[in-house]
Amino acid sequence: MVVRLRLKRTVKVLVLYTVVSEILFFLHRVTLFLLHEHRVEMTQRKIIHVDCDCFYAAIEMRDDPRLAGKPLAVGGSADRRGVIATCNYEARAYGVRSAMSSGHALKLCPDLTIVKPRMDAYREASREIHTIFRDYTEIIEPLSLDEAYLDVSDSAHFGGSATRIAQDIRRRVSNQLHITVSAGVAPNKFLAKIASDWKKPNGLFVITPDQVEAFVSGLSVSKLHGVGKVTAERLGKLGIVDCSQLREWDKLALVREFGSFGERLWSLARGIDDRLVHNDSRRQSISVENTYDVDLPDLRSCLEKLPELLDTLATRMARIDSSYRPGKPFVKVKFHDFTQTTLEQAGAGRDLGSYQLLLTQAFNRGGKPVRLLGVGVRLEDLRGGFEQMELFER
Ligand code: TTP
Ligand code: MG
Ligand code: MG
């Protein structure tokens, strides 16, 4: 009798214990879930990518309305073997594209007007656009004169609506500069950049956090940040054309195929990109390039051009401020078939002799007639260096 009673009590205690631990476990899960949600919410970023439409051409059409409405390109003239920097959308209808030789562009579109670039005007327009950007955030990362990422996660404008900020930026640029910009809004850089291209020209495209999944699924892998022609082909051979197919691969398998880039592919296929918007546009290098009217046939004729290029480089170097220290010298050689090579040398001097050596090696990589020569110097950012020192000392 006593034994049965004890057994009953033990069973009761055990049941009670189980019920309590189940409740505690449930509460634990709920807390974790809420914490996670909160963290996600806190780290949810709002990134805008802005890119001007046919930027150089847009400025030219604005400043000379006679050029508008007809095919227009900005670039070097065909008889001087120039290249197209960009063209308006009318010219694009004929197949004219950036980096195409002007001669070829004229074959595609005989009515094409080609005007010379006016870099000062483009730089000025870029400055004005950045002044507008700064009204919404200080976190701006320029990628070139005509495009930038903005992190507006903490912006108080329009109740924090990134979409409305983007609309406002587009409206203000159009009213003030009389050119159009396209914008993309997304939770990260990679998607924001794709989004700005999605409705080009003069468009806005928004990818909200809950649309990321569906948007990325249908995306071609060639749209992924860092996937060029070669990687896209390699992926294609594995039967991976879009991101939904890429997602079928686990991380390890992708790393085996693509090294460390495999991990990045795994993330991008899920719409994950943690890169920050860096609001520091410090220069990486300074250089001078020249495209020659007639190909330089051999090494000797290339070497003859060096002193002239180095003179111009010296003038430009004299203009950089003291927060930079000149670093490695480098040369760039573009051969007549548009293949190109860049060569730099740590520890080498920035004298004529060093550049001669570099140019000789670079030329020998192709051994073909040369259309463009460039010389430059990598820059060490002393400001960045000091900031790092401070970090280490803390
Ligand atoms: P992009 O933004 O690539 O092109 P875009 O603004 O002309 O046209 P889109 O509407 O497609 O954005 O480049 C910005 C400027 O940079 C462009 O106006 C000219 C210059 N550029 C070159 O000089 N050479 C090049 O090969 C490219 C792609 C651009
Ligand atoms: Mg552009
Ligand atoms: Mg651009």
- pLDDT of 233-266, one tens digit each? 999 999 999 999 999 999 999 999 999 899 999 9
- pLDDT of 297-318, one tens digit each? 999 999 999 999 999 999 989 8
| Strand 285-296 relative to strand 370-381, pairing | antiparallel
Which range has highest mean pLDDT (40-54, 210-224, 369-383)? 210-224
* Cβ neighbours of residue 193 closer than 8 Å, sequence gap 6 or more: 49, 149, 184, 225
With a 6 Å cutoff on the Cβ, whether 188 touches ligand 1 is no
pTM of the model: 0.68
Of residues 72, 70, 66, 94, the one with CA closest to residue 84: 72
Active site residue 37: no
CA–CA separation, 152 vs 263, rounded Å? 28
- pLDDT of 183-216, one tens digit each? 999 999 999 999 999 999 999 999 999 999 999 9
Dmax (CA) for the chain in angstroms is 113
Tell me which of 55, 83, 101 to substitute to probe ligand 1's pocket, judged by most ligand atoms within 8 Å of the beta carbon.
55
> Which DSSP letter does residue 338 get?
S
CA–CA separation, 126 vs 120, rounded Å? 10
Task: Using the mean position of ligand 1's atoms as its centre, give its distance from the Cα of residue 107 in Å.
Answer: 21
**Ligand 1 nearest atom to the CA of residue 89, by list position:** 10
Task: Using the mean position of ligand 1's atoms as its centre, give its distance from the Cα of residue 281 in Å.
Answer: 19
pLDDT at 92 over 80: yes
pLDDT-derived band at 392, boundaries 50, 70, 90: very low
* Structural domains in the chain, sorted by start: 47-54+119-208 (3.30.70.270), 55-115 (3.40.1170.60), 213-268 (1.10.150.20), 285-381 (3.30.1490.100)
With a 6 Å cutoff on the Cβ, whether 52 touches ligand 1 is yes
Residues with CB under 5 A from ligand 2 (ion): 51-52, 55, 146
* pLDDT value at residue 244: 97
Annotated catalytic residue, options 60, 90, 141, 147: 147
With a 6 Å cutoff on the Cβ, whether 151 touches ligand 1 is no
